[in-house]
Chains A and B, each alone.
Chain A
Amino acid sequence: MSDEADQDAPTTDGGEDLQAYTIRLELVDEPGELLNALQPIADRGGNLLSIFHERGNLTPRGHIPVEVDIESPPDRFEDIVGALRDAGINVIQAGAERYSEELTVILVGHLIDTDLSDSLQRFQRCSQASVVDVSLSAPEGTEEVSSARVRLATEADRADQVLGTIREIAADKDIRVIEPQLPAEGSR
């Protein structure tokens, strides 16, 4: 690393004005690709918050979609995206979605038999929300009704749409959704 780069590299833990960003990439399914994609982010002082590597799903081009949440000073973000593109990585979407709201739902039903991880993946794929945390309670075993608490991060003001999507996917699998009470439209 050159001296100049060293000076420019911001210290992300120094309490500067950091913002959270989401970058959606698609990667060729080859060893080392994920690491290649993360290197330019780290090199430019981006702080990795989470990586969601959707193996199992393919983009229309047959690549693997990856969603990366990072934190960086706003003036650094474009550099990071530029560096990714320079490295030959296909950036589908960058910064346009910024997860700023959290949403918790409780699912009730035959969650395990209906493939909970598939349900969660569909939530993420269809609603552009990110599953932050899942807690499952199935005291009667996998064949009885169980409950799960799911925390999702969504973009500001998209909670209604995200809930709508979750409702549809859940209805498909006969899963009941206990939604959070949101403030009425226009009264936030």
Chain B
Amino acid sequence: MKLAILGSGAVGSSVAELAGEYGHEVVALADSSGAVVDDDGIDVAAALDRKSAEGAVGSGDPDDALGADYDALVEATPTTLGDAQPGFGHVETALERDRHVVLANKGPVAERYGDVMELADASAGEVLFEATVGGAIPVLSTISDFGAGQITAARGVLNGTANFILSRMAAEGLDYEHVLAEAQDLGVAEADPTFDVDGTDAALKCVILSNVLSQGEREYSLEDADVEGIEEIPGTALDLAAEDNRTVRLIGEATPDGVTVGPKLVPQNGALSVTGTRNIVQFETEHAGQLNVSGRGAGGPETASAVLADVGRLPPLE
């Protein structure tokens, strides 16, 4: 399949690098300040070298990538809230051109799910967004295989940064600020980790889960979520939990009652107490009890593998 990739951060550049291995061709790659477009396939390595040397993948207008001759648009620009622009506009353009869209950007499906589905219905193209929830973990494809109607609720640990901080606090008896600084040194936490530690990122993922699970009966957005973060949890809380063979994890839940995210007490050796940057999603099923899927929830190649799995699921365009 011919891919146009918008966004050249960790995810976008990994998709570009790995696309060939998956049997696809990259015909356009853009970042916020430039683009490179070639209908016969771009030189990915050269474009990424240029980005690290000069700050842009190419000299073209970023909008040119959107107009290139691709089968699927990979939208991997940063997640934005509210109107989800400019990501939403990119989705709109591609679908109106009857092309497929694969999202790594959570904004459009978390904040404007109904609008996106409406555009998809009117288009010959499809929209897939496995990479928006749980990184490499096949969360949405599990729902689609199992049947959304067979799943009564989903919950899990969906933010690697928050989970790394809580695991380290519990293991080392350190306070929040110390561990956050350590996480930033290691590159686990971003310079501005606000959305990770205040629960917003996990909430967006749960909102997406709710949208998928409700099968169009109800549309959710971030506004509908009840969100609490981990910023004010002292080390003493984790110590007290550990004395009782428990620990604290930032748990997001998508149930028919709505979306909640907050720190919860979980058994220390239970399925939900994954450590480090690992994520887990736990489904409650109608007839088969609990179903857990776990793995790496973030990272360039990890998330790119979910994007490319989606690309592989797309039918050929007429």
Residues of A at under 8 Å CB distance from B?
104-106, 108, 135, 137-139, 145-149, 151, 176, 178-181, 183-187
With a CB–CB cut-off of 8 A, which chain A residues contact B262?
179
Measured in the bound complex, the distance between the Cα atoms of B155 and A144 in whole Å is 33
Task: List residues 135-186 of chain B with CB under 8 A from any CB of chain A.
Answer: 152-153, 155
Q: Verify if B115 is at the interface (C-beta below 8 Å from A).
A: no
Measured in the bound complex, the distance between the Cα atoms of B263 and A135 in whole Å is 19
Among all A-B residue pairs, the 5 with the closest Cβ atoms: A184-B153, A137-B236, A147-B236, A149-B240, A147-B237
Could you tell me the distance in whole angstroms from the C-beta of A179 to the nearest C-beta in chain B?
6
Across the interface, B251 reaches (CB within 8 A) one of A181, A183, A187, namely A181
Q: Verify if B246 is at the interface (C-beta below 8 Å from A).
A: yes
Cβ–Cβ contact B284 & A104, under 8 A = no
Q: Known contacts A105-B265, A186-B152, A187-B284; can you find 4 more A-B pairs with CB under 8 A?
A: A149-B241, A178-B233, A178-B237, A181-B266
Measured in the bound complex, the distance between the Cα atoms of B243 and A186 in whole Å is 30
Across the interface, B234 reaches (CB within 8 A) one of A147, A183, A187, namely A147
Could you tell me the distance in whole angstroms from the C-beta of A138 to the nearest C-beta in chain B?
8
Measured in the bound complex, the distance between the Cα atoms of B243 and A104 in whole Å is 12
Measured in the bound complex, the distance between the Cα atoms of B209 and A34 in whole Å is 56
Measured in the bound complex, the distance between the Cα atoms of B236 and A146 in whole Å is 7
With a CB–CB cut-off of 8 A, which chain B residues contact A145?
232, 234
With a CB–CB cut-off of 8 A, which chain B residues contact A137?
236, 239-240
Where chain A touches its partner, the secondary structure class is strand
Could you tell me the distance in whole angstroms from the C-beta of B130 to the nearest C-beta in chain A?
23
With a CB–CB cut-off of 8 A, which chain A residues contact B248?
106, 178
What total of A-B pairs shows CB separation below 8 Å? 71
Q: List 16 A-B contacts (CB under 8 A).
A: A106-B248, A108-B237, A137-B236, A146-B236, A147-B236, A149-B241, A151-B244, A178-B265, A180-B265, A181-B249, A181-B265, A181-B272, A184-B155, A184-B253, A185-B257, A186-B152
Measured in the bound complex, the distance between the Cα atoms of B272 and A23 in whole Å is 38
Measured in the bound complex, the distance between the Cα atoms of B241 and A138 in whole Å is 14
Could you tell me the distance in whole angstroms from the C-beta of A182 to the nearest C-beta in chain B?
9
Measured in the bound complex, the distance between the Cα atoms of B247 and A104 in whole Å is 12
Could you tell me the distance in whole angstroms from the C-beta of B250 to the nearest C-beta in chain A?
11
Across the interface, name the chain A residue whose C-beta is closest to B228. A176
With a CB–CB cut-off of 8 A, which chain A residues contact B266?
180-181
Q: With A106-B265, A108-B232 given, is the CB distance from A181 to B155 under 8 Å?
A: yes
Could you tell me the distance in whole angstroms from the C-beta of A47 to the nearest C-beta in chain B?
26
Residues of B at under 8 Å CB distance from A?
152-153, 155, 232-234, 236-237, 239-241, 243-244, 246, 248-249, 251, 253, 255, 257, 262-266, 272, 284
Q: With A181-B272, A185-B255 given, is the CB distance from A104 to B237 under 8 Å?
A: no
With a CB–CB cut-off of 8 A, which chain B residues contact A149?
240-241, 243-244
With a CB–CB cut-off of 8 A, which chain B residues contact A186?
152
Measured in the bound complex, the distance between the Cα atoms of B128 and A91 in whole Å is 63
With a CB–CB cut-off of 8 A, which chain A residues contact B249?
181
With a CB–CB cut-off of 8 A, which chain B residues contact A184?
152-153, 155, 253, 255, 284
Could you tell me the distance in whole angstroms from the C-beta of A186 to the nearest C-beta in chain B?
7
Across the interface, name the chain B residue whose C-beta is closest to A182. B264
Q: With A184-B253, A186-B152, A187-B152 given, is the CB distance from A108 to B233 under 8 Å?
A: yes
Across the interface, name the chain B residue whose C-beta is closest to A181. B264
Across the interface, B264 reaches (CB within 8 A) one of A138, A179, A185, A187, namely A179
With a CB–CB cut-off of 8 A, which chain B residues contact A187?
152-153, 284
With a CB–CB cut-off of 8 A, which chain A residues contact B264?
178-181
Cβ–Cβ contact B152 & A148, under 8 A = no
With a CB–CB cut-off of 8 A, which chain A residues contact B257?
185
Measured in the bound complex, the distance between the Cα atoms of B231 and A176 in whole Å is 12
Across the interface, A104 reaches (CB within 8 A) one of B234, B244, B272, namely B244
